Structure 1
Amino acid sequence: MFPEEEVIRRIVEGETELFALLADRYGRAVHALVYRIVGNPEDAEEVTQEVLLKAFAKLADFRGRSSFATWLHRIACNTAVSFARRRHPLTHFDERQLALLPDDAPERLEAWAERQESLGALNRAIARLTPEERALVTLFYYEDCTVAECASITATTEANVKVRLHRIRKKLYLMVKTELDENE
């Protein structure tokens, strides 16, 4: 196989059939990311195709300032978040509860995750996050992206990613705690 940079150059120069190599290499990862954001297999298929089409159409704009994978993940995140926003209106969350919660409380999520009942509650809570929050959780926890990679993909700063992840953990803690308390 040719180096990725050469494949991209050749596609841009007209050998468009080579895009199949990139689609084969990254298609599964894009689908997994999109699925975790949109939460529906049929929608994930549709959005994955849209992502690959966008990537193909914008390939000449790829400048190599980040890896191709990071660039493609950015397109996937943005497309999936936009799709999810259109399909599922946001639910209201009481921000005052987050402010009152001690900063170390979300650490209990890890202990809860070991219990099957809590794991189900955690998965349901993740599904209720905003599309942007689900995207960040997916990148950091499921895709094992670093804070720097998350920042690059979401076009924000590392500090912002850290703050957002902390707030998301607090929000998840409250959502899981509420569900578990209701079921006792």
Structure 2
Amino acid sequence: MSHHITDHELIEKIKKGDQASFTILVNRHKNYALTIAKRIVLVQEDAEEIAHDAFVKAYTSLGSFKYESKFTTWFYRIVVNMAISRGRKKKLDVIEISEGHSDFVGDSGTAELDTKDRNYYLNLAISRLSQDDRLIITLYYLDELDMEEVAAISGFDKNNLKVKLHRARKRLGEILKVIMPTELESVVH
């Protein structure tokens, strides 16, 4: 039943004091909120705190929610702002990775990575991008949001977002070339 009710309907119930509706809303959006926060701050524990705090802030701010946009756009903007704020307060160590690629070579002498490994190295490459680039790549490619939603959540000008996305994708490609050049070459050709 909870899948058939819209976020806007849940918000109306929450405003009338229905705590169960807030639980449904949290369960519906917690994984995505955590993903966005983690892409920005890179630390699981910090991302969990940010997601929790964002839900608390959203709950206390539901009175200011305007039904002109999706709840997700409004809420994920809260997550992004909180994560960026946390990131400014805390310096992150950059993970250095070895340039040796012998682990990637299978018995046949060619690079072989399974889906799990590819995802690992893709996430590692994404983690090496700037905060803005990680956010844009995550929202557009991994979460498959349209440009308008990415602009609303990220706060970037919609007209400039395509350029930022193109540059972020290019930087991601350069990082992937360093991390896994043989595998990347086999995927491209």
Give the TM-score, by structure 1 length. Answer: 0.72
What corresponds to 2:170 in structure 1? 170
Gapped regions of structure 2 (runs ≥ 5): 95-110, 182-189
What corresponds to 1:62 in structure 2? 65
What corresponds to 2:52 in structure 1? 49
What corresponds to 1:19 in structure 2? 22
Query: How far is 1:163 from its partner?
Result: 0.7
Distance 1:143 1:34 in 2: 13
Distance 2:175 2:20 in 1: 47
Per mean C-alpha deviation after superposition, the further-off stretch among 117-126 and 15-24 is 117-126
> Is 1:34–2:21 an aligned residue pair?
no
Distance 1:115 1:22 in 2: 41
Q: Which whole-Å deviations, capped at 9, do the CAs of 1:96-134 have from their partners, x for residues lacking one? A: xxxxxxxxxxxxxxxxxx964876554333112222221
For the 8 Å contact 2:137–2:169, the answer to whether it is kept is no
What corresponds to 1:94 in structure 2? none
Query: How far is 1:75 from its partner?
Result: 1.1
Distance 2:12 2:120 in 1: 46
Aligned residues: 159
Per mean C-alpha deviation after superposition, the further-off stretch among 138-147 and 123-132 is 123-132
What corresponds to 2:145 in structure 1? 145
Aligned pair in 2 of structure 1 residues 122, 21: CA closer, same or farther (>3 Å)? closer
For 2:8, the aligned partner's letter is: E
Distance 1:121 1:25 in 2: 28
Distance 2:53 2:158 in 1: 28
Distance 1:136 1:71 in 2: 16
What corresponds to 1:128 in structure 2? 128
**SS of equivalent residue, structure 1 residue 129:** coil
- Identity across matched positions, percent: 33
> Is 1:7–2:18 an aligned residue pair?
no
What corresponds to 2:185 in structure 1? none
Distance 1:157 1:20 in 2: 33
Aligned pair in 2 of structure 1 residues 29, 124: CA closer, same or farther (>3 Å)? closer
Distance 1:38 1:4 in 2: 27
Question: Which structure has more helix as a fraction of its residues?
Answer: 1
For the 8 Å contact 1:81–1:135, the answer to whether it is kept is no
Distance 2:28 2:73 in 1: 13
What corresponds to 2:103 in structure 1? none
For 1:73, the aligned partner's letter is: Y
Query: How far is 1:50 from its partner?
Result: 0.9
**SS of equivalent residue, structure 2 residue 66:** coil
Distance 1:123 1:18 in 2: 33
Aligned pair in 2 of structure 1 residues 49, 119: CA closer, same or farther (>3 Å)? closer
